[in-house]
Amino acid sequence: MTLAKREADVLSTIIESYIETALPVGSRTVAGASRLRLSAASMRNTMADLTDKGYLEQPHTSAGRIPTAKAFRVYVDSLLRLRPISREEKGEILSRLTQQGLEISQMLQQASAMVSSLSHQVALVLAPGGNDVRWRRVDFALLADKLVLAVLVLDGGIVRNRVVPVEGHVTADELTSFANYLNCHYTGLTLSEARLRILNEMHNAEAHLEQLCSRALLLARLAFSDQQEEERQIFVDGTLTLLDKAEFTDSGRMRELLALLEERSRLLRLLDSTMRGTDVSVSIAPSLAENPGEVDPDQTLFDETGASYGKGRTGISSRHLMAGTAREGERHALPGRLTAYHAAVRPKESGADRELVGLSVISAPYGGDTPLGVVSVIGPLRMDYGTVVPVVDCISKSLSTLLKDRFSA
């Protein structure tokens, strides 16, 4: 549905006022802030038209209007004005990320803290997976009879722990010998490289290996099996900012989002669904009023059903990805590189995805063409997108620059 210029201007003014105040917006407020010179009657008629089209809703008969999720999608798609990060702010970001002695895990934690501080939202940074990170050392500890804890330290201080069952009796001294052998022969390889070499050596020279080497390789094969995604670190910062949001004055609503932030598997699924391409994406969940149906368990939490923008700065040609069909040629004047994904899931009244209602996720992968992880912000629809999008973009690009030489291609 196309908006007339007057409607777009009024809608943009209402959204920006609502973002700032969290209060319903009346026609007098819009008339005072809008660039249009409209009479009070014309303003009320325009707001009524926007309400009929599903872009505004009126919480109370005597109140003003508030924008719907549909309105925020239009705003992000075609009305948003980005406020770029200043040169001084970029310098401060790089300075804090390159503090002397920072491990990768500390750098990512610092990035999460900065995103939250600059955006005033909950920030999440997904750490790289283990397969393409170089192995620094391994240690083994005996937990119980036939049960060993493998502690794998990767480049940048990334730590992976895994409990490994073993056959036969093993002593603490033997575990130390196994670790020394592996650290001597495999340090500096990526996990993928180490895993492949271990399998090859066990296959090609098993009969000639000494017992210690053979047992060390067997233990390593178990410890270095494909790392589960659930083992990836997620750095979360800014949960206290929820206390300042009008949307979370309801303690039940607050608990729902905090529960999501605590549940690693669902959080990983959410972050993975936003890790597409190399640009910033904005994912907006539908409201219950828009989509009161059920969640499709085979869908990601957010899917590409909106406008996907290219790399131009103005007059960007968009592709609409609906049910696998692309429609080319529609144009939007959106500054910068931004991809808007509309949520495809339909949250139900209660259940696992209820807490996503009314939320936005702004994300940008870091690491280049093959993303290592993702920088994200999660918060209410009433978010200052013009500020948050450049923050996420700047910090993700800074991480890409700083980490590009520390991971194998």
Highest mean pLDDT among 185-189, 190-194, 283-287: 185-189
Q: Residue 299 has what pLDDT? A: 36
Instruction: Give span(s): CATH 1.10.10.10, the chain.
Output: 5-67
Q: What are the helix and strand counts (H, E) for the chain?
A: 12, 14
> What residue spans in the chain does CATH classification 3.30.450.40 cover?
87-128+232-403
Helix (H, G, I), strand (E, B) or coil at 17: helix
Confidence check: pLDDT of 205 > 60: no
Percent of the residues in the chain that have a pLDDT greater than 70, as a whole number: 75
Q: Identify the residue with better confidence: 80 or 168.
A: 80
What is the tens place of the pLDDT at every residue in 114-126? Answer: 999 999 999 999 9
The pLDDT of residue 212 is above 90? no
pLDDT value, residue 159: 78
Higher-confidence residue of 10 and 191: namely 10
Q: Which of the two residues, 372 and 16, has the higher pLDDT score?
A: 16
* Tens digits of residue pLDDT in 58-94: 887 767 899 999 999 999 988 999 998 999 999 999 9
Question: Which percentage of the chain shows pLDDT scores above 90?
Answer: 27
341 pLDDT more than 60: no
CA atoms within 13 A on the CB side of 64: 19
As a whole number, mean pLDDT of residues 140-167 equals 84
Buried b (16+ CB within 10 A) or exposed e, 25-50: bbbebbbeebeeebeeeebbebbebb
Structure tokens at 199: 């399998």
pLDDT digits (tens, 9 = 90+) for 49-62: 999 999 999 887 76
Residue-level pLDDT at 227: 53
pLDDT digits (tens, 9 = 90+) for 299-324: 333 333 333 333 322 222 222 222 22
CATH number of 87-128+232-403: 3.30.450.40
- Mean pLDDT value of segment 204-209: 55
Give the residue range(s) of CATH 3.30.390 domains in the chain: 135-229
pLDDT value at 297 more than 50 = no
359-397 pLDDT tens trace: 889 999 998 777 888 999 998 899 999 999 999 999 999
pLDDT value at residue 384: 94
pLDDT of residue 406: 66
Q: For 254-270, what is the mean pLDDT?
A: 79
Classify domain 5-67 at the CATH class level. mainly alpha
Residues whose CB falls within 8 Å of the CB of residue 387, separated by 6 or more in sequence, listed in order: 83, 118, 119
DSSP 108-128: HHHHHHHHHHHHTSEEEEEPP
pLDDT above 90 (res 41): no
Q: Are 189 and 134 in contact (CB under 8 A)?
A: yes
**Which fold is adopted by the domain 135-229?**
Enolase-like; domain 1 (3.30.390)
Q: Whole-angstrom Cα distance, residue 117 to residue 259? A: 22
Residue 327: pLDDT band (50, 70, 90) is very low
The contacts of residue 222 (CB under 8 Å, 6+ apart) are 150, 164, 165, 166
